[in-house]
Structure formats: C-alpha cells, structure tokens
Amino acid sequence: MFTVRCVLGTSTKCLASLPAWRQKIKLQSRMSTLPRPVAAVCQVTASPDKEANFSACKHLVEEAKEKGASMVFLPEGFDYIGSSREETLSLSESLTGDTISQYTQLARKLEVWLSLGGFHERGHNWESDRRIYNSHIIINDKGDIVSVYRKSHLFDVELPEKGVSLKESAFTIPGPCLVSPVQTPIGKLGLGICYDLRFPELSLALQRHGAEILTYPSAFTVATGAAHWEVILRARAIETQCFVLAAAQVGQHHEKRSSYGHALAVDPWGEVMGDCGGERPGMVLVEIDLEKVSSTRRNMPVQQHRRDTGFYHSLEKT
C-alpha cells in the first residue's frame, strides 16, 4: 500500500544501524501511527467571471492545504461556466494559457496536488473549427502537468419534462482515448468527467489498469442530479471496489443554468464518506485508506470471478 511504501522510503536509512528485530518493531510502530493521506473534494459555483472563479477556487485550495490535504479536487467547469455557446468558446484557452499557469503556480507554492476537473481547452484546430475539449488536468506538487484526460462521452440530452436541454457536442470534441491511472499521494487515480460516470465500461477499464480511486468532477443538472447522482457514483464504487471522489458545481451560475451540488466521496464498499450538500460552495476532507481497497477486493474477489470478454459478447452470436 502507498502508506507502507512511504514509511519504508523514509525509514530505511535511520534504521540501518539497528539490529534486525529492533528495526522490525520500530517499523511496525511507525506504520501504525502514520496518518493516512487526506483528499479535499470541493464544490464551487462558477460563473462566466474567470477571475472571480479563480479567487474562489484558490481560497478552497489554501483552506484544504491548511487542513492537511495532500490533493485537492475541483469540479468540471472550475474555470468558468458560460451563459452561451459564443461566450463559452470565447473564454476558452490552451493548456499554456493564463488559467492553467495560475494553477501550476498555486500547486507549486502550496506543495499540493490538484485535480482540475473540466477545463475548456481549445482544440488542436482551434483557428479553423473553433471547437474545444473538456479536459481533466492533474498537476503535481511541483507545478507540473502529469496527466490530461479529455472527456470522451459528451452530454447531448433533451429532457423537456425536466427542463433540461444541453448539446455539448455542438462545440466540444470527444476525447480520443482513456488515459492510464496516475500515481498520486493518495493512491492510483483513474480519470473521468461528469457524463462519463454513466458508462461502467470506462470505470472497469480504469480498474483493470490499476486504479484504486476513480474521480468524476462534474456539473450535474439539478434534475438529473436529484434522480441519479448518488446512486450512480455508489454503483461505480461498488462494481470496481475503488474509492470514488466527485467534485461538483452547485447553485445558480447565471440565469440559464444551475447545478445540483452534493460533491461526494464514496468508499470501496459503496458507503458515502462525505457529502457537501446542495446549497453552497465548500469541501469535504476524507482520509484515503488504501487497505480498504485491498481488503474489499480480497474478501469479495469480484474481478477474479469475471469471465473473459468473449463470454459477455456471446449473446451477440445467438
């Protein structure tokens, strides 16, 4: 487990001169008292004002660091939520623009890892097609971008009875592929964004490639959030036996759009560890005990019981 590796990495030198049996006792004592890593799962109310949004997010990151978090999770649209297609596109930037530069500097200054949950990134052919990616960016405590995942499932939904009408594909390019889980101070992290959580194939693929934690930064509508948010997140945790961390947007962004909130942290058994509620910005701080991943998978070895891929496609041949 990560915590055990951390103890071994920091303790070997100072224990080298002790007899073997004393080393073992000393090591066990340190392992038993070592604090578990803490994650801060945030929710914000972004608007089209990028400067105000950065100020609000910066405050949350600073507070999380003061309270002991080693990694902070911000939601989809942390940079802004535009009030029109035109505004959304005009406010977008590249990964080398001012917004991400501000966050890399913040991560470096505070020595904290950041999950930036859904950045409006100008596409590779921006000058000709004016289209963007919805990008999930991981920044380490040195201020380096260590992973970028571009949202692969786009939210094109018409629910007239619920007052929901969104067509993300009108201006967003679907990401070309999944990205490998990334090692972080809290564990091995698999990346998704919002609507991706409705596709269990994605979460299972990340789990098969070593993910211990799944993260779905989101901006769920009020109607779909009330109906599906918690139950789907808990289902993803149960079926993969991973922690699930889901930062969220909350409240009124502008006159045309509101978000459900309830930023959530779920453990590998499917129990909710923390919920930010649906009223205002804030955060939940959760300890990540990776032994819970191991014990859950050991006691109920679901992945070992899974049949080969061909078995699940056998119906297509009948």
Residue 177 reports pLDDT greater than 50:
yes
Q: Does residue 201 form part of some domain?
A: yes
DSSP for the chain, written as a single string? -HHHHHHHHHHHHHHTTS-HHHHHHHHHHHHHHPPPPEEEEEEE---S-HHHHHHHHHHHHHHHHHTT-SEEEEEETSS---SSHHHHHHT-B-TTSHHHHHHHHHHHHHT-EEEEEEEEEEPTTHHHH--EEEEEEEE-TTS-EEEEEE--S--EEEETTTTEEEEGGGTBPPPSS----EEETTEEEEE--GGGGG-HHHHHHHHHTT-SEEE--B---HHHIIIIIHHHHHHHHHHHT-EEEE-EEEEEEETTEEEE---EEE-TTS-EEEE--SSS-EEEEEE--HHHHHHHHHHS-HHHHPPPHHHHTGGGG-
Q: Does residue 33 form part of some domain?
A: no
Q: Does residue 32 form part of some domain?
A: no
Q: Does residue 6 form part of some domain?
A: no
Q: Does residue 316 form part of some domain?
A: no
Q: Does residue 178 form part of some domain?
A: yes
Q: Does residue 157 form part of some domain?
A: yes
What value does the mean pLDDT take over residues 54-69? 98
Residue in the structure block whose two tokens are 């992290």: 189
Catalytic entry in 65, 151, 188, 292: 151
Question: Of 246, 254, 236, 238, which Cα lies nearest the Cα of 284?
Answer: 246
Label residue 19 by pLDDT band (50, 70, 90).
very low
Catalytic entry in 42, 57, 121, 194: 194
Number of domains, the chain = 1
Q: Which domain holds residue 54?
A: 38-302
Question: How far is the C-alpha of 38 from the C-alpha of 70, rounded, in Å?
Answer: 6
Label residue 165 by pLDDT band (50, 70, 90).
confident
What value does the mean pLDDT take over residues 134-143? 98
Q: Is 247 exposed, middle or buried (0-12, 13-18, 19+ CB in 10 A)?
A: buried
Higher pLDDT, 58 or 168: 58
How much is the pLDDT for 316?
A: 81
What value does the mean pLDDT take over residues 96-101? 98
What value does the mean pLDDT take over residues 64-68? 98
User: Mean pLDDT for the chain?
Assistant: 89
**CA distances in angstroms from 71 to 37, 66, 90, 110, 272, listed in the order given:** 9, 12, 30, 11, 19
Catalytic entry in 76, 121, 212, 292: 76
Q: What is the pLDDT of residues 203-243, one digit of tens each?
A: 999 999 999 999 999 999 999 999 999 999 999 999 999 99
Q: Is residue 271 among the annotated active site residues?
A: no
How much is the pLDDT for 318?
A: 64
How much is the pLDDT for 298?
A: 97
How much is the pLDDT for 163?
A: 74
Residue 25 reports pLDDT greater than 90:
no
Q: Is residue 76 among the annotated active site residues?
A: yes
Q: Is residue 127 among the annotated active site residues?
A: no
Higher pLDDT, 27 or 177: 177
Residue 5 reports pLDDT greater than 60:
no
Higher pLDDT, 27 or 201: 201
Higher pLDDT, 311 or 161: 311
Label residue 16 by pLDDT band (50, 70, 90).
very low
Whichever domain contains 122, its CATH number is: 3.60.110.10
**CA distances in angstroms from 237 to 65, 293, 313, listed in the order given:** 26, 10, 24
What value does the mean pLDDT take over residues 65-80? 98
Residue 24 reports pLDDT greater than 50:
no
| Cα torsion through 268, 285, 224, 134, rounded to 10 | -100
Question: Of 95, 57, 50, which Cα lies nearest the Cα of 249?
Answer: 57
How much is the pLDDT for 32?
A: 47
How much is the pLDDT for 157?
A: 78
Please state the pTM of the whole predicted model.
Answer: 0.87
Strand-pairing partners, residue 187, are: 184
What value does the mean pLDDT take over residues 256-274? 97
Question: Of 171, 139, 133, 131, which Cα lies nearest the Cα of 152?
Answer: 133
What value does the mean pLDDT take over residues 10-35? 43
Q: Does residue 8 form part of some domain?
A: no
How much is the pLDDT for 33?
A: 55
What value does the mean pLDDT take over residues 88-114? 98
Per residue in 172-195, is it b (16+ CB within 10 Å) or e — as a string?
A: bbebeebbebbebbbbbbbbbbbb
